[in-house]
Amino acid sequence: MLRTLDARHDRFGLSAPFRIARGVKTAADVVTVTVRQGDLTGRGEGVPYPRYGETIADALAQIAAATHAIEAGAGRDDLGALLTAGAARNAVDCALWDLEARLAGTTVAALAGVAAPAPIASAITIAIDTPEAMAAAAARVAHVPLLKVKVDRAGAADQIAAVRAAAPHPRLIVDPNESWTIAELERWHDLLVEHRVDLLEQPLPAGEDAALAGFASRVPLCADESLHTRADLAGLADRYQYVNIKLDKTGGLTEALALADAARARGFGLMVGCMVCSSLGIAPAMLLAGDAAFVDLDGPLWLSADRPGGVIDRDGVLDPPQPGFWGAAA
């Protein structure tokens, strides 16, 4: 049966600037892929990330180069030879999962052999600002189960202290986005313990991970930028206790599921994260969330307007998209 693929650039404005250590976003630029076969359609979304050398134009060019093979019948297992791990492959992979489930009259969860998505506690992110503004933002969500605070090098100590004072009860993830040095990690280690930080995410640049070997951290460390696919796991064992799986890094749900299994087998705890994206990027990631100790899928909550039928936040608990949105017929 004839199959067609369409890829386009979509832009979603943000309701507030999203500031992290390496810059600020005011919009989410995504690649949306639609694969049609007969009367059925599968959709997927990827977020090209400049940190990894990705752009919208490059992602669309990658997909265009693979379109003939995909329209001729190439499936998810063929994508590794057609596309590199990253946002472009993520969008195509998830679109094919969606289409496959609809063609089979089942769900992606059933095809993958995992539990159906369910409401789950997901981090509410406090973006970088003045300590006073971050405290005010934290106070508004002090009742949620889990907060994630973005920090930089210059103001990290004051930022963490301000958020914890305003929100004393939630579990807390601190994310410097590669902006610290090993000396700063050592200097701020007692502060992290004092403020009951539950997880420290990628404090050092990915290329400087070797400095963590043998570091006896009293706060669990999580690899983010240092982990993309299963090939990266071997170099992380003596440096991190957790790994953050993002579909835009793995190149889709197919590799993400395999990575989760491999990480657990090596003794890593799991975090599931996302870029700033729409609910179309979150729906596949929710299939991994049930087995993760930390879930950070609040990307759509930053949008001025999400795709209709997407996820809903209820006081820090994320409800899955409406039936039929992705991964199953309505």
Q: Where are the domains of the chain?
A: 3-108, 120-319
Burial 31-48 (b: 16+ CB within 10 A, else e): bbbbbbbeebebbbbbbb
What is the arithmetic mean of pLDDT over 250-257? 98
Known catalytic residue: 150?
yes
pLDDT score of 164: 98
| Active-site entry in 25, 148, 246, 249 | 246
C-alpha–C-alpha distance, residues 86 and 248, integer Å: 5
Fold designation for 3-108 = Enolase-like; domain 1 (3.30.390)
CATH of 120-319, one of 3.60.150.10, 3.40.50.1220, 3.20.20.120, 3.40.50.10680: 3.20.20.120
In this model, does residue 125 exceed pLDDT 80?
yes
CA dihedral 290, 203, 161, 168 (to 10 degrees): 10
Known catalytic residue: 148?
no
pLDDT score of 183: 95
What is the arithmetic mean of pLDDT over 271-275? 98
**Contact of 108 with 95, CB cutoff 8 Å:** no
C-alpha–C-alpha distance, residues 32 and 274, integer Å: 16
pLDDT in tens, 277-322: 999 999 999 999 999 999 999 999 999 999 999 999 999 999 999 9
pTM: 0.96
| Active-site entry in 25, 148, 150, 249 | 150
pLDDT score of 23: 83
pLDDT in tens, 165-181: 999 999 999 999 999 99
Of the candidates 254, 308, 304, the residue with the CA atom closest to the CA atom of residue 280: 308
Q: Which helix (H) or strand (E) holds 13?
A: strand 3-20
- Assign 264 to helix, strand or coil: helix
pLDDT bucket at 328, cuts 50 / 70 / 90? confident
pLDDT score of 22: 79
pLDDT in tens, 81-119: 999 999 999 999 999 999 999 999 999 999 999 999 999
pLDDT score of 21: 76
Q: Which value, in Å, is the radius of gyration of the alpha carbons in the chain?
A: 19
